[in-house]
Amino acid sequence: QKEVEQDPGPLSVPEGAIVSLNCTYSNSAFQYFMWYRQYSRKGPELLMYTYSSGNKEDGRFTAQVDKSSKYISLFIRDSQPSDSATYLCAMSDGYNTDKLIFGTGTRLQVFP
């Protein structure tokens, strides 16, 4: 079993839709949860960063962490064609903060 599971998609939605991206994990020691966006042929860029459980909002993006269910989500409101990219979740246990465990990424396409 992989430590982090993420549906690879692709996920195709119309412009303006609400997008829900999810990851599940098996390691209960994970405390830091990140979402990265990766455009084609580019490196990942950090979108959201949360510690422990709860919600965090930044503009059109909301990250949710449910540690009891070992489940994290990223919601994108009013999705735009420019949001088309691969979204990667990443996690760390906090004891070795250098090491991030990534999901496989979900490819999102927002069509006009």
Partner 1 sequence: GAVVSQHPSWVICKSGTSVKIECRSLDFQATTMFWYRQFPKQSLMLMATSNEGSKATYEQGVEKDKFLINHASLTLSTLTVTSAHPEDSSFYICSAGDRGRIDTQYFGPGTRLTVL
Residue 67: Cβ within 10 Å count: 15
Query: Shortest approach of partner 1 to residue 45 CB, angstroms?
Result: 7
Nearest approach, Cβ of residue 14 and partner 1 (Å): 25
- Residue 100 lies near partner 1 (rule: CB under 8 A): yes
Near partner 1 by CB under 8 A: residue from 11, 17, 24, 32:
32
Instruction: Name the nearest CA neighbour of 5 among 70, 54, 97, 68.
Output: 70
59 binds partner 1 (CB under 8 A): no
User: How many CA atoms are closer than 13 Å to the CA of 96, on its beta-carbon side?
Assistant: 4
Contact 30, 87 (CB under 8 A): no
Query: Which residue ranges make up the site for partner 1 (CB under 8 A)?
Result: 2, 4, 8, 32, 34, 36, 41-46, 49, 88, 90, 92, 94, 97-105
